[in-house]
Amino acid sequence: MESLKILVATDLSELGNRAFAAAEQYRKISGGIIKPVHALTEPVWPEGIRLPSVDDKMSGELVRITTRKCEDAASQYTAAEFIDSPFITYGDPARVIVEKAAGYDLVVLSTHGRTGFKKFMMGSVANKVCQRSKTPVMVTSPNDKIESFNKVLLSTDFSDESVKAFEQARFLLDNTDTTFDLVHIVSLEYAGKWSDRKHMEREAEEKLIEFTKEHFSEYKDRVNPVVVLSALSVHRGLSKYIEEGDYDLVIISTAGKTGLDSVLMGSTTAHIIQVAQVPVLTVRP
């Protein structure tokens, strides 16, 4: 089995450093390495002129201090032999993470940082990284339970885009004893009579069973197809089902039937990232 290369982004806050815990759970599967990344922001005047107090000597010292903090944060969860030298640079955090992600198998970061405001962090870093990164991104939140990935929810809307996330599921199926619920949400927001609802459910169940056979025939005893009827929207129905289930990880594509990353990120994936009490692994098609 090829070792994984995992990039862990942190702002070095207590909440931001929780990403190392989730990364270590994934790293242990393949015995790969973890590389911390941190983006420094230079203080500037409104005109964009660098402050005189931040000279090259001071910048170098700041990088050295930050490097040591990243190493200390990572070493709380991972043995030193599996920690690569931290990457520290100046720049916009989302841009730095996405650019550095090339060549890595997974990016891990937290939705919460120094601000403590979930929506702010999602809007400024995690949301952008999930939208832009071609590398799969795992996102953690402060209330996540971070444990071994024994039971995983894999979401699908039957689209080709959602199938792109199946590769991450197969990695876990091949290398662990993980079991999966392959979940499809049927929203009844606009359904009519009860007979229509039963027809929708039956049709979805038949389709999901065939879909599971098509993509996971070799794992038939470990992938359980689940159709969920919800009176709510798709994203709220899915988040409610995740909340009621005992999952260790959620895997979801950042694009679905619309084919527009930003549309689905704004409705389903971003919502799940914000409310799920377990790590969420997103895959951009």
The pLDDT of residue 52 = 45
- Same domain, yes or no: 167 and 236: yes
This prediction's pTM: 0.86
- Same domain, yes or no: 12 and 136: yes
Domain boundary among 140, 170, 195: 140
> What are the tens digits of pLDDT across the range 229-272?
888 888 888 989 998 888 999 999 987 554 434 344 446 787 88
Distance CA 97, CA 115 (A): 19
- Same domain, yes or no: 15 and 88: yes
The pLDDT of residue 119 = 43
- Same domain, yes or no: 103 and 200: no
Q: What percent of the chain has pLDDT over 70?
A: 83
Q: What are the two backbone dihedrals, phi and then psi, of residue 79, each rounded to the nearest 5 degrees?
A: -60, 145
**pLDDT at 55 exceeding the cut of 70:** no
The pLDDT of residue 56 = 66
> What are the tens digits of pLDDT across the range 155-172?
999 988 899 999 999 999
Q: What's the pLDDT band for 41 if we cut at 50, 70, 90? A: confident
Q: What's the pLDDT band for 54 if we cut at 50, 70, 90? A: very low
* SS3 annotation, the chain: CCCCEEEEECCCCCCCCHHHHHHHHHHHHHCCEEEEEEEECCCECCCCCECCCCCHHHHHHHHHHHHHHHHHHHHCCCCHHHECCCEEEECCHHHHHHHHHCCCCEEEEECCCCCCCHHHHHHHHHHHHHHHCCCCEEEECCCCCCCCCCEEEEECCCCHHHHCCHHHHHHHHHHCCCEEEEEEEEECCCCCCHHHHHHHHHHHHHHHHHHHHHHHHHHCCCEEEEEEEECCCHHHHHHHHHHHCCCCEEEEECCCCCCCHHHHHHHHHHHHHHHCCCCEEEECC
Mean pLDDT, the chain, as a whole number?
Answer: 84
Q: Count how many domains the chain has.
A: 2
The residue-averaged pLDDT of 94-121 equals: 78
**pLDDT at 126 exceeding the cut of 70:** yes
Q: What's the pLDDT band for 117 if we cut at 50, 70, 90? A: very low
**pLDDT at 111 exceeding the cut of 90:** no
Domain boundary among 140, 166, 196: 140
Q: Is residue 194 part of a domain?
A: yes
Give the CATH number for residue 14.
3.40.50.620
Q: List the domain range (segments joined by +) for residue 200.
A: 151-283
The residue-averaged pLDDT of 74-87 equals: 97
The structure tokens 């500037």 sit at 44
33-40/5-9 β-pairing: parallel
- Same domain, yes or no: 165 and 259: yes
Helix axes 166-175, 194-216, angle to 10 degrees: 60
The pLDDT of residue 263 = 40
Q: Which position has the higher pLDDT, 50 or 12?
A: 12
Domain boundary among 118, 140, 162: 140
The pLDDT of residue 24 = 96
**pLDDT at 115 exceeding the cut of 60:** no
- Same domain, yes or no: 95 and 161: no
